[in-house]
Amino acid sequence: MKRFLIGASLAGMLAATPALADGKIYVQLPDLSGITGTQAEEFLHQVVLANIVSSNCVGYEVSEEDWSLLTDSADILSHQMGLTTDQYVQTYETPAFNALDEAGTCETEGPNVEPILERLVELGGSREALPDQDAAYIEWRALQDYWDAGGTGMPPAAAPISKSKTK
């Protein structure tokens, strides 16, 4: 009986912390609303390539917070540009993965990871986890709902979102 109560208590505690239970890390994300057109296309390419390189090239690994900043910034840019998932994968993700098959990609693109992260910070992002992960999760879910309803970019009244997930 004692084991059952301990197990039930642990299950209840985990259920009460949705963001942490999902293993997500939320960071302040940058305001990318001023990046449009060709500049947005080029920057999205750079951010996606930095993510793929940092996830696959020895010596260019990033923290989970940095990974979140990269991946969620790519999400924001792609929604801001009105891309479908298929367009995003075909135009940005697949070419980034294909680049890994080319000799020297890690050595050439790896040094670009840090400057991309620095630019995201200059635009208002952070490389540190937010102190209130549960509130950040709620904000991120609201943004996802906005996108699922057909919205692009950030909701009109929204401040920069403060979410990211772990690897």
pLDDT digit string, tens, across residues 122-155:
999 999 999 999 999 999 889 889 888 887 777 7
d(CA 163, CA 140) in angstroms, rounded, equals: 6
Q: Which of 38-42, 65-69, 143-147 has the lowest mean pLDDT?
A: 143-147
Query: In the block, which residue shows the tokens 């991946």?
Result: 71
Higher confidence at residue 68 or residue 164? 68
Residue 41 pLDDT exceeds 70 = yes
Query: In the block, which residue shows the tokens 């630019």?
Result: 119
Specify if 159 maps to a domain.
no
CB 25 within 8 A of CB 133: yes
The predicted pLDDT at position 158 comes to 55
The pLDDT confidence band at residue 167, using thresholds 50, 70 and 90, is very low
3-state helix, strand, coil in the chain (%, to 5): 65, 0, 35
Specify if 10 maps to a domain.
no
Residue 2 pLDDT exceeds 50 = no
Residue 17 pLDDT exceeds 50 = no
Number of structural domains in the chain: 1
The predicted model scores a pTM of 0.79
The predicted pLDDT at position 22 comes to 64
- 120: its two tokens: 């995201």
Taking residue 121's Cβ as centre, other Cβ atoms within 10 Å add up to 15
Specify if 45 maps to a domain.
yes
Handedness of CA 85, 155, 80, 68 (dihedral sign): negative
The predicted pLDDT at position 65 comes to 97
Specify if 100 maps to a domain.
yes
Specify if 165 maps to a domain.
no
Specify if 138 maps to a domain.
yes
d(CA 102, CA 26) in angstroms, rounded, equals: 33
Give per-residue burial for 49-60: e unless 16+ CB within 10 Å, then b.
bbbbbbbbbeeb
Full domain range(s) for residue 62: 23-148
d(CA 147, CA 153) in angstroms, rounded, equals: 8
d(CA 90, CA 138) in angstroms, rounded, equals: 30
Specify if 8 maps to a domain.
no
* Mean model confidence pLDDT for the chain: 85
CB 39 within 8 A of CB 138: no
d(CA 93, CA 124) in angstroms, rounded, equals: 24
Specify if 44 maps to a domain.
yes
